[in-house]
Chains A and B, each alone.
Chain A
Amino acid sequence: NAGVTQTPKFQVLKTGQSMTLQCAQDMNHEYMSWYRQDPGMGLRLIHYSVGAGITDQGEVPNGYNVSRSTTEDFPLRLLSAAPSQTSVYFCASMAGSEQYFGPGTRLTVT
């Protein structure tokens, strides 16, 4: 099992560019989520999904879109990157009492 995978590991964007962060899991988990982690702020929930075709907003959704066409994949789209979106992004999937995180994507917006 690969668990939760994320690509890319690192990305530099210019302000205004768009991009998609990929996330996939092979554990057949219904629940998936995206977090961002900033120094001194902890992990904050961006969007989550409770199953294919169902998504909802978390604590800090502005500037991000998600979709969930399959159980396995949960991509995060940045529509028009801003310096405030410089952060480390973690995708996670959950079943029962355990949540598994992907390795993270370190994004810098200049």
Chain B
Amino acid sequence: GQNIDQPTEMTATEGAIVQINCTYQTSGFNGLFWYQQHAGEAPTFLSYNVLDGLEEKGRFSSFLSRSKGYSYLLLKELQMKDSASYLCAVRLNYGGSQGNLIFGKGTKLSVKP
């Protein structure tokens, strides 16, 4: 079976740094995605990791360790607008050349003043 775990909720303070963890156990692996989803809206793409290591994109960074089945999303200099759900998703090896995505249940981040 496929299993992706991430914390249900997190709270952080404006201006701080927060790390959202994701662990996965899947039958295949062809990359890990992070998405941001504001309430009532569609998910939007944040990052993609297929090799081990850290990918940095502005205030957001994402890390992957394939041997440990582990990823994290790091958000720096938190802003109120970062209050949203963050979704971790693993791309499997099947589903054509693109591969199907399996999503975790999401982490709801609340940023407080």
Contacts and interface: CB of A to CB of B under 8 A. Distances in A.
Contacts of B89: 43
Contacts of B105: 40-42
Interface of B is mostly: loop
Contacts, number: 60
A26 interface: no
Nearest to A101: B42
A25 interface: no
Given A41-B105, A56-B95, A102 B100 contact: no
Interface residues of B, number: 22
Interface of A: 30-31, 33, 35, 40-45, 48, 50-51, 54, 56, 58-59, 90, 94-95, 97-104
Interface of B: 31, 33, 41-45, 48, 50, 87, 89, 95-98, 100-106
